[in-house]
Amino acid sequence: MPYKILIVEDNENNRSLFRDILTFHGYGVAVAADGHEGVALARELMPDLILMDIQMPGMDGMTAGAILKTDPQTSGLKIIALTSFAMRGDLEKFLSAGFDGYLSKPISTRELPDMVKRWLEEDQP
């Protein structure tokens, strides 16, 4: 059974691009356009990995990630922060907020599948 990945991203072009790349590499992919939809889909699907955009209208990625990480049902989900504002200290900020990793945009389409594979394999027996 393929790994399930949830992409939570408000930019339709990014959503489509990430979905197409990861689907091509054999992953099961679901998409959400904002934090509210992302939290609901994460609870429903219990994906193996969530790629969470940080800056979204409505509910941002920091809030959505915090909701998922403080809910006992979803606290074990792996969530990777996606942001276009890469600054010194961001990794530490996202890790301390409960995210499992961080990826700055623009994302290399060639590197994305390998990065996803590494995150999925972390802490595997």
Q: Which residues of 35-56 are buried (b: 16+ CB within 10 A; e: fewer)?
A: bbbbbebbeebebbbbbbbbeb
Helices marked H in the chain — which ranges?
Answer: 12-24, 35-45, 61-70, 90-96, 112-121
| pLDDT value at residue 107 | 87
- Domain formed by 4-121, architecture: 3-Layer(aba) Sandwich (3.40)
Strand partners, 79: 50
What share of the chain in percent tops pLDDT 90?
71
* pLDDT greater than 50 at residue 125: no
Among residues 101, 113, 103, 121, which one has the least CA distance to residue 27? 113
List pLDDT tens digits, range 28-69: 999 999 999 999 999 999 999 999 999 999 999 999 999 999
pTM value > 0.85:
yes
Boundaries of every domain in the chain:
4-121
| pLDDT value at residue 123 | 67
Strand partners, 17: none
Does 90 or 97 have the greater pLDDT score? 97
41, amino acid identity: L
